[in-house]
Amino acid sequence: MALMQVSDLTMTFSGITAIENLTFNIEEGSITSLIGPNGAGKTSVFNCMTGFYKATNGNITFQGESLINLKPYKITQKGIIRTFQNVRLFKNLTVLENVISGTHRVTKQSVLGALLKYPAQRREEKEALKIAETCLETVGLSEKKHQLAKNLSYGDQRRTELARALAAKPKLLLLDEPAAGLNREEKNKLAEHIHFFRDKFGITVFLIEHDMDLVMKVSEKVVVVNFGGKIAEGTPEEIQANRLVIEAYLGTDEDEGGL
Amino acid sequence: MGFENKRTKFAVLAALFVLAAVLPLFLDNYTLNVLWNAMFYMLLALGLNIIVGYTGLCDLGYAAKFAIGAYTTGILIKTFGWNFWLTLPVSALVSALAACVIGAPTLKLRSDYLAIVTLGFAEIVRISARNLDITGSASGINAIERPYFFGIHLTKISHWYYVFFALVIVFIIISKRIRYSRFGRALAFIREDEDAAQAMGVNTTLFKLYAYIAGAVLGGITGSFYAVKMTSISPGSFDFTQSANILLAVILGGMGKIPGVIVGAAFFAIFPELFRDVPFVGNMRMLFFGLLLIVVMINRPQGLWPEKPVKR
Amino acid sequence: MFSAWELILQQLVNGLILGSFYALVALGYSMVYGIIKLLNFAHGDIYMTGAFICLSVYGAVSGVLPGWTGIAVSVLAAMAVSGLLGFLAQKFAYRPLLSAPRLSLLITAIGVSLVISNTVMVITKSQPLFFTSGLDNSLGIKFGSITVTYIQIIMLAVSAILMISLTLFINRTMMGKAMRAIALDQDTCALVGINVNKIIGLTFVLGSALAAIAGGMACVYYGNVQYNMGYMIGIKAFTAAVIGGIGSVPGAMLGGILLGLLEALGTQFLGSSWKDVFAFGLLILILILRPNGLLGRSEIERM
């Protein structure tokens, strides 16, 4: 069974249909991409998967359990971790604290622990710190861990967000346009990271991306949407040869591919 | 460098501690009372700081939280003859319950709605206190008996100076522990970006409620001590101006930064004393604060206390 | 003696008057909230300024222009001063913070409120000022043993005319349409060439002028002005705006009238010392049960 199944997903905002009867699967251990022209409804799919939007119709299951009507934090607690299109770090906190936020999901201590600082609390604090440090090292940001997130360069902010997601030990990692605004070198690094996350930690990756280079380089499966519905699905090679996909992109005025 | 820094910091704190501890030996009662008042504001500001500074919730009715504590203790001592120390847990519990009742349904609302609900609730508390028999109506509760502490009857101002000094230290430790814990960090995430906090698995509504309760309990405890120190409480001490003063102390001082909050509170308590007898200026105090607030918000929304320098 | 029904009728009239004051102030709250999502804490103080200016100007002109003419001139002056004050607050205190977190904006509004009320406090030396209009308050239409005075009738009529004009303005004129458009999407408005800052400024001027009229009428009706009178009506008007659905212009009117009536009845049945508890209790209940108010539309939760 697929790790995540999206079936007949429909989402309407006050009369406008953003997603229509969308069905696809994300296989465990795969790297899958969702592509489509601007306004095709990609981010809406993402927001439905993570509980930020409420689907009008259809179902989304994760490991066989339905995610419909769950709050975002509940979905995160199940191991589905997302990043944001327009990087949303905790700006006035340090890089390290940002990354520790990922460990919230895998730790437990609360008010009493904070006040009494008993051994379990201390142990967990150390553990969280260790996880965060490791994740920072993985993305190569260890030296900047004490800087405030808002003072980082854009590329570093993106990497911090990756480290933060990684610290949550995701089963499924959802990346919303992770390459946006990165230069060629940073993109290559990103592709490496995505592969590394999957190969080393067994994380299933699902990404929305405009950057065709990246999509074709990392994906094993590509799902193409336009006007809220699926128009194609297949390996990168199949998609590149698909007439509908080419039309969807060339038929619009947008210049999105491969830049 | 880090080591030296820490040592300097420790030395400064130790010096401050010793200074504060020996001060009552040299000062007259009036000055001690001013200092006591400053510490009283520090306690309130530290409590509110958890709600406003740590979590970014706007509470315009913090006076109600310490009113609840003060009246709980006042009523238990006067009407039911309880020992002061035994009223403390009850006061904490009542404060927590009140925070739950008002917070649980409203904390998921828009942030500015919360501001107005807290304000409305504070008015309800104040008006109720003014009209109910058990709270002594407009004249309040008077001649509350002062407690004993290990055989010492706490009657002198120097006694209260030390009691509140100890409380300030306890509140600072609590604040620090909260800030550097999973709980406190979750509050910071909520303050910075609620959606991102949710995306990292933080149950934002629940943690906001915890923060709100924590702030209310600290306020309630402060209120209890206030009641026995003053020996009389009345609705006039818990009006909107009081809430506004505490809020301003937190915001101007530091928004989450403990030393900033302390300095802010001290400023608010001592400043009016300095200008009390100066004609004209004394009256313009709040006018000046208002202007300061606008200027600070526009130029330094993080408060006046400086950012931590980056550690290398 | 009054019969029970006459007492209730009397309270209803009082409630209507109070309600129209609330409604006029609530309109400013609601329009500003609708357009820049600011809970303008200083709005009650703008109302107070209106009352204060009205009283001061009438004191100066009543010798030459007694009665309604003088009052009209004073209210116009109050509208001008309050409108200007609202505009200045918007320009210098709020505009620099439009993209800042909402908490900063709210706190700035508290700052503006402190500045306005304490300025008047310093000028009036914390003393209440009393207003004598010289109008005969006994003339009116009799219903049994109670009288609805001409003053009351004129105030209700003025409020009604203002609310109708405002509705027409917002629905029929380009300016009004621009205001509604900005409330929906500021960036797009800027793209299609609407001068967003100008319209926001206009909203403040309009809201403040309405509050000033309410302040002026309250000054005539109740006969006194005090520097801190804006605080309570500010919260009450906000309550009214929330009851009606904040951001909604007809909602603010409905909410204001409703709150005024409920409060009058609350005074009748619970006693005047509890009437504020009643109003705030209502606010909290509405926020919990129907956070979008009676006429407000639910916001689509988008990120």
Give A223's contacts (C-beta < 8 A, 6+ positions apart).
Answer: A24, A32, A33, A34, A35, A230, A232, A233
Q: Same structural domain for residues A52 and A101?
A: no
Residues B220, B125: Cα–Cα separation, whole Å: 13
Locate the chain C residue with the closest alpha carbon to A14. Answer: C300
Neighbouring C-alpha atoms within 13 Å toward the C-beta of B108: 12
- Sign of the Cα torsion C189, C195, C196, C199 reads negative
Q: Same structural domain for residues A63 and A98?
A: no
**A-interface mutation test, from B175, B179, B182, most A Cβ less than 10 A away:** B182
Nearest to B244 by CA among C156, C147, C42: C42
Interface partners of chain A (CB pairs < 8 Å, 3 or more) are B, C
Task: Extract the tokens encoding B117.
Answer: 């609900």
Does some domain include residue A163?
no
Does some domain include residue A256?
no
Does some domain include residue A236?
yes
Q: How far is A127 from chain C (nearest CA, A)?
A: 32
Which residues of chain C make contact with A53, given a CB cutoff of 8 A? Answer: 301-302
Calculated CA dihedral for residues B177, B179, B185, B188, nearest 10 degrees: 160
Does some domain include residue A179?
yes
Distances (CA, A) of C140 to C136, C147, C224: 9, 6, 22
Nearest to A222 by CA among A211, A204, A207: A207
Does some domain include residue A165?
no
Residue with tokens 């003859």: B81
Q: Any idea which of A52-56, A96-100, A165-169, C266-270 has the lowest mean pLDDT?
A: C266-270
Domain boundaries, chain C: 11-229
Q: Same structural domain for residues A26 and A134?
A: no
Residue with tokens 């993305």: A139
Does some domain include residue A258?
no
Whether residue B199 and residue A117 make contact (CB cut-off 8 A), yes or no, is no
Neighbouring C-alpha atoms within 13 Å toward the C-beta of C131: 27
- Classify each residue of C15-51 as buried b or exposed e, where b means 16 or more C-beta atoms within 10 Å of its C-beta: bbbbbbbbbbbbbbbbbbbbbbebbbbbbbbbbbbbb
Locate the chain C residue with the closest alpha carbon to B290. Answer: C111
Could you tell me how many CB contacts below 8 A there are between chain B and chain C?
A: 124
H or E element, residue A205: strand A204-208
Is A146:A94 a contact under the CB 8 Å cutoff? Answer: yes
Find the domain containing A236 and state its range: 2-79+170-250
Q: How far is A48 from chain B (nearest CA, A)?
A: 13
Nearest to B62 by CA among B259, B249, B272: B249
Is B185:B197 a contact under the CB 8 Å cutoff? Answer: no
CA angle B153, B154, B157 (to 5 degrees): 140
Which residues of chain C make contact with B130, given a CB cutoff of 8 A? Answer: 273
B142 contact C CB<8A: no
Give phi and psi for B295, each to the nearest 5: -60, -45
A47 contact C CB<8A: yes
Nearest to C280 by CA among B247, B60, B107: B60
ipTM for the complex shown: 0.90
* pLDDT tens over chain C, length 303 residues: 567 777 888 888 889 999 999 999 999 989 998 888 888 989 999 999 999 999 999 989 888 888 888 999 999 999 999 999 999 999 999 999 888 877 788 889 989 999 999 999 999 988 899 988 777 777 888 877 788 888 899 999 999 999 999 999 988 998 888 888 888 888 888 888 888 899 999 999 999 999 999 999 999 998 899 998 998 898 889 889 888 888 888 899 999 999 999 888 888 888 888 888 888 888 888 888 887 888 876 554 333
Does some domain include residue A242?
yes
Interface partners of chain C (CB pairs < 8 Å, 3 or more) are A, B
| B:220-279 residues touching chain C, CB 8 A cutoff | 240, 244, 247, 251
The alpha carbon of residue B5 and the mean position of all alpha carbons in its chain are separated, in whole angstroms, by 29
**B-interface mutation test, from A53, A73, A94, A106, most B Cβ less than 10 A away:** A73
Distances (CA, A) of A5 to A8, A25, A58, A66, A218: 10, 5, 11, 9, 21
C106 contact B CB<8A: yes
Residues C43, C41: Cα–Cα separation, whole Å: 6
* Total of domains in chain A: 2
What tens digit of pLDDT does each residue of A77-125 get? 999 999 998 889 999 899 999 999 999 999 988 888 888 888 888 999 9
Which residues of chain A make contact with C301, given a CB cutoff of 8 A? Answer: 53
What tens digit of pLDDT does each residue of B261-284 get? 999 899 888 877 777 666 666 677
pTM: 0.88
